[in-house]
Structure 1
Amino acid sequence: MTLSDEERAALEFAALEVATGKVIGSLHRRHRAEEFKKFLIKLDKEVPADLDAHLICDNHATHKTPAIKRWLLAHPRFHLHFTPTGSSWLNLVERWFAELTNKQIRRGVHRSVQALEMDIRNWIAAWNTDPKPYVWTKTADEILERLASYLNRIPDSEH
């Protein structure tokens, strides 16, 4: 699910703890490597130091700049995994963004970006009081089988 420009202006980055459903969000007005690095620093502080952090990211250039690569080299417990273009459904935090959009943002009236940001902060706080992990309803084999079937039907899929 894609976010509107207004929503994107308020919340750029979020991490979903797959096992518990807890979300760590970071609000920024811009979507640059500088803001992504701030988000990584926040995660480094909030994720227990004895855990590796595997982040599923889209292929946005923000995630691949030399500054980010240097930061990742200095913080080897962080591992970035990139989804193929058009495959945001593989990233469960996108499901959370859809809930945020449908249950909070679209229902609210935001007279300013600050009001929108407050709604998002409140949503994250409320969500984290009783987080729920997302559970795939299909097995990996069922998903891959359906994907292979789809790719065989479309031209130029190289399958």
Structure 2
Amino acid sequence: MNDWLVKFEGRVRFHFTPTSASWLNQIEIVFSLLQRKTLNGGSFKSKEQLCQAIEAFFRRHNERAKPFRWRKREVKGSQLQNTIVNLRN
């Protein structure tokens, strides 16, 4: 970690935010993409190889970055009731 911090000195800034912040939903999407496109099924022989794969993912991701299209699913009354019942169990 220290080597990484030195490599990006002046370009990385730590921010302390509440763990229940809504922005976490957005970063979870990016982590999900990282997991599906890079980590699942990956075979990394060293920590360096893993780091290179992650950095390559973010390079590709940033080159093609575009806003997420948020969609709200329509929920019918019975679906909502079933969801509430399932949450209570």
TM-score, normalised via structure 1 length? 0.37
How far residue 151 of structure 1 moved from its aligned partner, in angstroms, is 7.7
The answer for the alignment partner of 1:82 in structure 2 is 19
State the structure with more CA Rg: 2
For 1:121, what is the secondary structure of its paired residue?
A: helix
User: In structure 2, what is the Cα distance between the partners aligned to 1:101 and 1:137?
Assistant: 22
2:29 corresponds in structure 1 to 95
Number of residues paired by the alignment?
76
> 1:118-152 CA deviation, whole Å, 9 max, x = no partner?
0001111111111022232117xx7xxx6xx6389
Alignment of 1:1-159 (within 5 A): 28=1, 42-43=12-13, 63=16, 80-83=17-20, 91-138=25-72, 150=84, 153-154=87-88
User: TM-score of the superposition, structure 2-length normalised?
Assistant: 0.60
Percent identical among aligned pairs is 23
Select the structure that is richer in strand: 1
Q: Which structure 2 segments of 5+ residues have no match?
A: none
1:70-99 Cα shifts (integer Å, max 9, x gaps): xxxxxxxxxx24328xx9xx6111111011
Structure 1 residues 108 and 152, CA gap change in structure 2 (3 angstroms):
closer
Counterpart Cα distance in 2 of 1:102 and 1:153: 27
Q: CA RMSD in A?
A: 3.8
Higher normalized contact order (CA 8 Å, seq sep 6+, divided by chain length): 1
SS in 2 for 1:91: helix
